[in-house]
């Protein structure tokens, strides 16, 4: 799969996803960090990237009005390892079909 990581997602998440064979793009590497959330979501949709963010409130609201390729809200946990493990469990459980055009929480 292909993912766009919002600027608030820890960089180690990108390492874990790449090790699993996924294509990963970090927002600051492909867009201006000041890009509005709506524009980032549209960018991800045009490139068929599932957006991963920790910004739950803004992206849940946007998901109601902006078409998207999928959104994963990464919930902050006590450790980065726990966050990565929750994400991996979601990927295993939902699969690509469960992530596409849906909003999921990890």
Q: Which stretches within 1-106 are classed as H helix?
A: 11-19, 27-30, 37-46, 56-65, 80-99
Q: What are phi and psi of 51, to 5 degrees?
A: -85, 130
pLDDT value of position 101:
96
Domain count, the chain: 1
Exposure on the CB side of residue 83, measured as CA atoms within 13 A: 21
Q: Which domain holds residue 60?
A: 2-105
pLDDT value of position 55:
95
Residue range 14-37, pLDDT digits in tens: 999 999 999 999 999 999 989 999
The span from the CA of 60 to the CA of 39, in Å, is: 15
pTM of structure: 0.95
Residue range 31-76, pLDDT digits in tens: 998 999 999 999 999 999 999 999 999 999 999 999 999 999 999 9
pLDDT value of position 7:
93
């Amino acid at each position: 799969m292909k993912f766009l990581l919002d600027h608030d997602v820890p960089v180690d998440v990108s390492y874990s996803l790449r090790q699993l064979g996924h294509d990963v793009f970090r927002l600051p590497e492909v867009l201006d960090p000041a890009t509005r959330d709506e524009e980032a979501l549209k960018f991800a949709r045009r490139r068929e990237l599932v957006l991963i963010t920790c910004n739950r409130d803004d992206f849940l609201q946007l998901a109601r009005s902006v078409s998207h390729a999928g959104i994963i809200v990464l919930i902050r946990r006590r450790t980065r390892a726990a966050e990565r493990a929750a994400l991996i469990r979601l990927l295993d459980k939902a699969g690509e079909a469960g992530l596409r055009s849906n909003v999921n929480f990890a």
